[in-house]
Chain A
Amino acid sequence: MDQLTWTGTAGTLLLPLLQIALLALALGLVAKLLFVLAGLDGPRLPSADGTIAARSPGDFASLGIRYSFFAAVAAIFFMLAAGAVMPSPVEAGILGAMAVRFWPVWAALAATFVLSLRFRRRLGLYGKLFDSTVGMIGFAIVMFWVFTAIFADVIVTHDAFAQLSGLKNKPPGIAAPDSAYGWYLLGGDHLARDVFSRMVMGAREVLKIAPAATLFAFMVGITLGLPAGYFGGRLDTVISFLANLVLAFPVILLFYLLVTPEIRNTGIPVVLAALLFIFPIIFLTVLFNSRFYTDPTKRNIYVGLTLLIGLWAYSGLAFNRDPLGIWSMQPNMLNVFVSVVFVNSPGVFRIVRGLVMDIKARDYVAAGQTRGEGPWYIMLWEILPNARGPLIVDFCLRIGYTTILLGTLGFFGLGVSPDSPDWGSTIDDGRKLLNLFPHPAVTPALALMSLVLGLNLLADGLREESLKD
């Protein structure tokens, strides 16, 4: 079996096209920037007879950028599409073969988009996301990785931990004669494991922790930020001081102090977990109580259920003492999780506090006060729902930030098992031989970058759409 080429048979035609397009794109961008700086670029004005005045040089550069960009996108698309219809990886090339492996993701993405576009007018802010190109691209990228994480078992070509002899540091497309699939699509790493499969499994590692940790950080930040902003005064001073304390710590230093095997022996992570994990329970309990205290039956049901499920999960996650053994977390996972929540919470706190201080001056808040609502009802039901726009945007951005933080942890080898396929530690493994064999490090690096980019674009689209109201 031969080594695979990147683009297979389709590439002979499309590859030169792609090169030309990319070159033109780069030239166009440089030219445009120069024109803008030289002031040769301006808005077009209707001249006296109402026609459009002569185009400025900047406009030509813009046109060039646009067409070369479309050409490049088209070339890449056709390469992937051509690869997908080719019978074997040899003709499909590496890109095509990867496109085939991702088929469940494509199917799921297509279904999501068809359904969402169909019903977008009934879906609120989520539906409006599909009015924004940037938002849609971001959403597509994020969902790509989400589906990849879900279907990882189907997508991988090899076991992410299996080492095949003779494939150490081999370049992408190398034939793996001893395996069922036959090729290492993105080459082998320094322990002769399949880079492609590790990258796919890495998505699962990242997406398992990042959103959950961000959600917990939001619970903590909201539960503390609401009263700090609403009541102000000494309470605010104290909590804000503590939050600034955490924010003033360089994150890396904090990680080096908080995520170590030694610290696990002291039980500090468990104490932190006990402290941080109680917040979601407090949040939900207060949420339901403030709303339904006028109707005790309903209140008792909601609060009771919250406490039952919440404390059950709490005992398992924080103390690993779940009587039924369903909720539990690895000690090193708990350590990482708690640290990430701890680092993120003050940021959320600050945003929530600022939003509350802004919204609490509104008349509907005063109206709530004058009819004798309790402070928690006003915070949770009058203020919080109206702060949701900025919070959702920040949530997306913060998942990205958390992903970066998790990568940082992996990069310094903190808190993860040595052969874990998560992207941060894979980059760390690969960088030692970066000069000679870049592919094991570049692959997860690009994956991580694209996920965070997707989240940022999604946040941008959401911000744009939520401002339109």
Chain B
Amino acid sequence: MSDTALAEKLVEIVGARFVLERESDLLVYNSDGLPGYRRKPRLAVFPGSREETVAVVRALAASGTSFVPRGAGTGLSGGALADDVVLLGLHRLKRVLSIDHENLRAVVEPGVVNLSLNRTVAPLGLLYAPDPSSEAACTIGGNIAENAGGPHCLKYGVTLNHVIAITAILPDGEIVVLGNPEGEIDGYDLRGAFVGSEGCFGVALDVTVRLTRKPAALRTMLADFVSVDDAARVTSAIIASGIVPAALEFMDSPTIKVVESSVYAAGYPADAAAVLLIEVDGTEAGVNADRDAIREICISGGARTVKVAQNDAERTRLWQGRKKAFGAMGRMAPHLVVQDAVIPRTKLAEVLARISRIAAEHRVTVCNVFHAGDGNLHPNIPYNADDPDEAARVHLSMGEIMRACVDAGGSITGEHGVGLDKIGYIELIFSPESLNAMCKLREVFDPDHRSNPGKVVPIHSCQEWRATPAGRSSEEHGELAGAAST
């Protein structure tokens, strides 16, 4: 179908206002939350209701058109970019359909913003636990696509652990219910397979999420260190002690400095080599005991001070610095590469030291700000992509850091997803047979790869597996470095 004919068909469904065709109108959709990649959609369509979404997906199916589902576009893996295919924006589907206080669940449309759901349920003493740092903008549908995490996932688990059921439309237009909104799942856990499928399995129409009671008491602490190594070892010691903090976040000196010089200044000691932001929750009596135990571990592990937030305003301020750290890095340079590797928690000190050596060798600045309790690193590098020499050094560093994390027994992504950005690394951790199995799973939901084509698993892994000469993957991924430096 020609672009014009397709656009006409879509305009019939959603109205002319909600179909974008002109290059200037589409410009804003050429990027997502990860600067460095640009892809131009063929056109963009924004249905305003479930019925319109179903009709759009069916129209796309009828014409064999590929598409990319997109929420708020805050993702950090290039996963929401549409490369000459239709961009299907779902942010208008933003109704909270029901809240069941008694059974601790809510049914929401995919475009509901994470923080907006939390604000809606807060007066009932409830919360939706997964809290990605982009919570003020990101949508539940996007969270499901990426299996999003966040600081409090250390104790409460990631999106996967908070999704009960999903009504989805498959790329062929069929509507299916995955999971069981009112009881156990008998048979395959199709809901589990769908969460984290990065938009490759179809489009969620509504989602039943689990809500959590707000803890009775919280204690938020900031421990500061003159040595990165000490902060890393204290993190491992807290985890090994058996206390499960609600959150345990790490920020190093470059991150502290940029946060403190921004509008998000949180009062972190500017001369510290690292700070740990630690939160415990539970009963009033229990959190005091945990606070004391953690303070003791921090002090005996070399912390200079341990400051406890005395009220909500202090707590909010401590958290603001952490949650806005990525944004604050915008002050340092026009571009930022964001990594998301995960390592075993006993390897923190060792891997951070290796990252620091890699940074020194390639003369780049790494800002470490991450979910230390989970071992989920975010070594970010602010840089100027217009300087080819610097861009080349940044990309060499990122590759070496990724390999260091994989060598430590880790994973290439903990919460941001593979998308476009990490597709070149996935063969570091999965064999051709495993990747082929993932393709088969994708093809169960989307036999023609029409939903978010070209993401997550390299296309060559989807051919029936056979022994291939070593080195093929590196040639095929030459695009990565080029794309990321644009």
Do A and B interact with each other, yes or no? no
